[in-house]
Structure 1
Amino acid sequence: MTIQILDRSIALKHLVIGGSRFIGIKFYPDKVIQAMIKSLPGIGWSNFFQMAVLPNNPTNLQEIFDRFKGVAWVNTQYFFLNRPVNHGEVNLSVDDFRKRKPKQGRRYCPEEFYLKLEIRKYSLNTARIYISMFENFMNYYSKEEDLMRLSEMEVKKYMQHLVNQGKSDSYLNQALNAIKFYYEVVKEMPNRFYDIERPIKREPLPKVLGKNEVLAMIKVTHNLKHRCIISLLYSAGLRRAELLNLIPADIESERMMIRVRGGKGGKDRYTLLGRQVLDDLRDYYKKAQPKQYLFEGANGGRYSPTSIMKIVRRAALKAGIAKRVTPHMLRHSFATHLLESGTDLRYIQVLLGHNSSRTTEIYTHVANTNLLGIKNPLDLD
């Protein structure tokens, strides 16, 4: 059997010209490709995009595939939606946003925006951010403005407006993600705004605590529930949302493991369960007898993220720690201390639930493992 290797290729992209949707065809100069593109019915050229263009409809799309089959590879990575769906067990509902009382002169996200968030099971936190960010974008323009007619230039002007307001890099990225979500996921036009610049990605080192500082925080926390929360954040390397999502059955005492359900990206994983933490958890469970979640509010239901933050900060102050401590610093400290004790980076990656080892490798920059053996020049004889 002979395998045919195509050395010619074209790339399809989503374009909007004069408010209408077009298929952009990008290609490198080639007499065969040029002749075939010119023969496509209804073909045109966009000087602005420097691409051949066809009205975006199923007939024209199929015509492209039929014409170039066996002649050139049709690259559709910028054209078809190809994003993973969150497979988490918790179904998202954004009914609270749907039921908001309308304010005069303010636009709200369309129903299709809400539906796509729910169907793809985005986390509630991500949904809140996307809704808020996209509504800010919508209301930057007049109520009569057709969002589908906005070009890359309009989006860039809005991003420049945010920069001039002094918004952080994180805010800018979230705003652009929300805008791209509407056009590329809701309207199914992937990478329509592929040429919009993002802020240069900064890579600050994670802030960590010393082990004695963490132990001091646990020691000064006399409330059993609060002590269990701080201990779990540190000893299991949990994110705050993962801690709040725990149910009693996730504590697998026989295996000394904790099952983390629906972590970042909807992934499940297992992490460590400490012996001292287990003893405290057993005492806490007998006294609190939570009905659904391991940690619940006064009236039942999942404990609030704000309460977790307050517990951690209060413990840090009582322990005499001057720096501003957050729940995520305990997770960073977990990873760093494991690395310093000689745990293989690959195991730490699994415990943290990182997709890439590159994400975990950042802890090598804060761990003192290789630095302690270096003699300070002031101490040299």
Structure 2
Amino acid sequence: MKWSAKAIKHKGENRIAVYFEKNADLIERIKKIDGARWSQTHTAWHIPDTEENRVRFKITPLSHTIPSEEAQVQIEKFKQWMRSKRYSENTISTYSDALKSFLIFYREKAISEITNEDVIVFNNEYILKNKLSASYQNQIVNAIKLFFVTILKTKIDVDKIHRPKRAKVLPNVLSKEEVKAILEAHSNLKHKTMLSIIYSCGLRRSELLNLKPTDIDSKRGIVIIRQSKGKKDRITPLSSKILILLRAYYEEYRPSTWLFEGQRKNNKYSDRSLEEVLKKSIKLAGINKPVTLHWLRHSYATHLLESGTDLRYIQKLLGHNSSKTTEIYTHVSTKNIQQIKSPFDDL
């Protein structure tokens, strides 16, 4: 079984991302490593960045991963430039880490001397050689392009840096019966409400955790998602069944600052705790699939499409910039496929 690993920065923490094709045995093995977690952002399992784990996954020792002094200065300038443009901290971290990998590779070379040919060599000798994903390569390209646009006297021709051809991967979708089993598995009202809102509104994990009590507009029957991906506000319909669930939840927990708070009042519910809530639900529901929170969002979109909702409305509900992003759900919808009669039936 082929796998690859690389050091990453995830939510301000040094981690090691491990990439491999979906395999139940490998998933079970990596789960046994202390601190192993799944990241939807990186689409990979990730573990603590320790010397032991670096040796285990054949990653360069920490002492060899420091960029040159010039690169450190330029990376910091790059971060400041992105902050001045109000990029999200997550994007700043992703881009600066991607650029750091590139500049470490050319540690002995002046940045002003780096050329397009160097980018091609990096792709072949680092990305492909280490079997890193096309998605990570795309992050590197984004970072390089953005960085060199802001640097003078460079030999890089930004417009000639090509992007990798992306693999067409279909989103993972659950049946309505599976979703129902997951949502009804928990007896804990808060846990059930959180998972139910993610599915009923098609929310990203961060969008759920950033909700405030005032974002639930029961009179208009909508949920307001503020400053989500791309710094955009949007609204989604509020199911009458969810409203009943929310009222029961509010009566019991009385949230203050955030709609879903942790054990301490006014503290936002944590990402990791939410992942554990889903993990427990999957186990209780008896579903033997590596379900993530994003699967609920994918399932919401696909079930809307199968019920006849126009793709343009689904695009707005999900907050997609491009209709092409939403169109992928047409490839997993079974509505029309089920109407096709197999020639095997006529044999």
TM range (shorter): 0.7 to 0.9
How much has 1:126 moved relative to structure 2?
1.4
User: What number of residue pairs does the alignment pair up?
Assistant: 279
Deviations 1:18-75 (A, max 9, x none): xxxxxxxxxxxxxxxxxxxxxxxxxxxxxxxxxxxxxxxxxxxxxxxxxxxxxxxxxx
Matched-pair contact (CA < 8 Å) for 1:218–1:230: yes
Match of 2:105 in 1: 140
Match of 1:153 in 2: 117
Matched, 1:308 2:268: no
Matched, 1:329 2:295: yes
Q: Return the letter of the residue paired with 1:113.
A: F
Match of 1:366 in 2: 332
Structure 1 segments (4+ residues) deviating >6 Å: none
Q: Could you say if the C-alpha distance between residues 188 and 150 of structure 1 is closer, same or farther in structure 2, counting changes exceeding 3 Å?
A: closer
- Matched residues in 1 for 2:270 and 2:122: separation? 34
Matched-pair contact (CA < 8 Å) for 1:335–1:363: yes
Q: Determine which of 168, 177, 190 is the counterpart of 1:212.
A: 177
- Matched residues in 1 for 2:98 and 2:323: separation? 31
Q: Which structure 2 segments of 5+ residues have no match?
A: 1-62
The equivalences for 1:1-381 within 5 A come to: 106-107=66-67, 108=72, 110-142=75-107, 145-160=109-124, 161-185=126-150, 192-299=157-264, 300-380=266-346
- Matched residues in 2 for 1:283 and 1:178: separation? 46
Please tell me whether Structure 1 or Structure 2 has the larger radius of gyration of its CA atoms.
Answer: 1
- Matched residues in 1 for 2:152 and 2:278: separation? 42
Q: Could you say if the C-alpha distance between residues 188 and 225 of structure 1 is closer, same or farther in structure 2, counting changes exceeding 3 Å?
A: farther
Q: What is the RMSD of the two structures over their aligned residues, measured on CA atoms?
A: 2.5
Matched-pair contact (CA < 8 Å) for 2:209–2:260: yes
Matched-pair contact (CA < 8 Å) for 2:112–2:153: no
Q: Percent sequence identity over matched residues?
A: 43
Q: Return the letter of the residue paired with 1:164.
A: K
- Matched residues in 1 for 2:204 and 2:343: separation? 39
- Matched residues in 2 for 1:372 and 1:304: separation? 40
TM-score (norm 2): 0.73
Matched-pair contact (CA < 8 Å) for 1:242–1:263: yes
- Matched residues in 2 for 1:304 and 1:208: separation? 25
Q: Could you say if the C-alpha distance between residues 124 and 186 of structure 1 is closer, same or farther in structure 2, counting changes exceeding 3 Å?
A: farther
Matched-pair contact (CA < 8 Å) for 1:339–1:367: yes
Matched-pair contact (CA < 8 Å) for 1:237–1:332: yes
Q: Return the letter of the residue paired with 1:333.
A: S
Q: Look up the SS of the partner of 1:266 in the other structure.
A: coil
Matched-pair contact (CA < 8 Å) for 2:135–2:166: no
**Which is richer in helix?**
2
Deviations 1:248-268 (A, max 9, x none): 111111111111111221111
Matched-pair contact (CA < 8 Å) for 2:261–2:268: yes
Q: Could you say if the C-alpha distance between residues 303 and 186 of structure 1 is closer, same or farther in structure 2, counting changes exceeding 3 Å?
A: farther
Matched-pair contact (CA < 8 Å) for 1:244–1:302: yes
Deviations 1:305-338 (A, max 9, x none): 2322222232122211111111111111111111
